[in-house]
């Protein structure tokens, strides 16, 4: 059946300006890190993407090595884009990244001009696009001059293959330096993409200040701490959970007491634990958007509903700080 987007899609969530730019992003964006590779049914991926757009999620975030095998998330997204979303291309923000290992040899990762620009060309071919809206340096390269990596981002924008440039996983000091370089080149950085959650607050120690000072936006990933901040682990570690099956999360990181205590607080707010965790990351106005993943339409719908939650009271924020401090101190 031919897909037709819901007419009320832009009434279902807020859109926030990214720093001092002209671009607004949905409060909730969809990341395709997991669940969109060749190891997942493409019809499930299609259903998630369709429902996301119907709910006002106009930003889809990828990277060159997303999916199993690497590149398959971009390839599958490109297929769904051609079949369903081409009429809506100008309503979409599509991003991708280069920085982690993608192909063998010395030119297949990190931040050289050679790798960054070759990776962008490959990503465009996989997705069948002439340009992406945001192109990121996925991580800082300790051995390549930052001027070279930023110069590659500047070139990507000036060539028309990307509309905006961003960085991910950069420290506060690296962010300030990168922003200065890009400003001098005439292509200001649009946005920073760091990890952030109730139990991973490193960006509060200077990075959010650096982002604000540079006029950048901030879009955070892993807001649910790979599932720790959901109801998935309230009764222990299920055998089919990410903690039991993924290299990105180990069972010894699961704090059942933390999840249960936070879940009680979420219930008092009329939210699921995941919804409260997502709402919490958006409480700071410097956070433009939060990236969620989804393995099903139901999970997507539950997470996107975080935008309907109440504002936090000072007592609630204090209670969250007290609970999560116990986890940090373990």
Residues of the chain scoring pLDDT < 70? 236-254, 328-330
Q: Rounded CA gap, 190 and 211, in Å?
A: 10
Instruction: Cis check for the bond before 77: say yes or no (omega within 30 of 0).
Output: no
The pLDDT value recorded for residue 250 is: 46
Q: Rounded CA gap, 72 and 267, in Å?
A: 38
The pLDDT value recorded for residue 232 is: 86
Structure tokens at 285: 């106005």
Structure tokens at 239: 């055998």
Q: Rounded CA gap, 80 and 50, in Å?
A: 9
Name the pTM for this structure: 0.94
The pLDDT value recorded for residue 257 is: 86
The pLDDT value recorded for residue 234 is: 85
The pLDDT value recorded for residue 238 is: 57
The DSSP secondary-structure symbol of 6 reads -
Which residues are 195's β-sheet partners? 221
The pLDDT value recorded for residue 235 is: 77
Structure tokens at 101: 């290992």
The pLDDT value recorded for residue 256 is: 83
């Amino acid at each position: 059946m031919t897909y037709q987007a819901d007419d009320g899609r832009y009434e279902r969530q807020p859109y926030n300006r990214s720093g001092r730019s002209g671009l607004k992003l949905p409060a909730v964006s969809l990341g395709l890190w997991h669940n969109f590779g060749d190891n997942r049914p493409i019809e499930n991926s299609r259903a998630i993407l369709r429902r996301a757009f119907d709910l006002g999620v106009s930003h889809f975030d990828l990277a060159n090595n997303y999916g199993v095998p690497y590149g398959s998330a971009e390839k599958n997204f490109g297929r769904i884009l051609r079949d369903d979303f081409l009429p809506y291309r100008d309503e979409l923000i599509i991003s991708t990244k280069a920085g982690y290992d993608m192909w063998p040899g010395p030119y297949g990762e990190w931040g050289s001009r050679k790798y960054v620009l070759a990776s962008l060309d490959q990503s465009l071919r996989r997705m069948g696009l002439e340009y992406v809206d945001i192109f990121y340096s996925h991580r800082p390269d300790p051995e390549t001059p930052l001027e070279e990596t930023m110069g590659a981002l500047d070139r990507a924008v000036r060539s028309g293959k990307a509309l905006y440039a961003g960085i991910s996983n950069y420290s506060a000091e690296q962010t300030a330096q990168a922003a200065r370089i890009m400003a001098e080149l005439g292509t200001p950085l649009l946005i920073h993409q760091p990890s952030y959650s109730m139990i991973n607050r490193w960006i509060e120690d200077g990075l959010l200040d650096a982002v604000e000072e540079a006029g950048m936006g901030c879009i955070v990933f892993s807001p649910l701490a790979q599932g720790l901040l959901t109801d998935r682990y309230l009764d222990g570690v299920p055998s089919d959970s990410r903690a039991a099956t993924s290299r990105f999360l180990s069972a010894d990181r699961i704090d059942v007491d933390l999840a249960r205590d936070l879940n009680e607080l979420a219930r008092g707010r009329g939210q699921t634990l995941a919804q409260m965790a997502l709402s919490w990351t958006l409480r700071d106005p410097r956070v433009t958007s939060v990236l969620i993943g989804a393995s099903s339409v139901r999970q997507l719908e539950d997470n996107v509903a975080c935008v309907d939650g109440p504002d936090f009271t000072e007592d609630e924020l204090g209670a969250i700080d007290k609970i999560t401090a116990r986890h940090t101190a373990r």
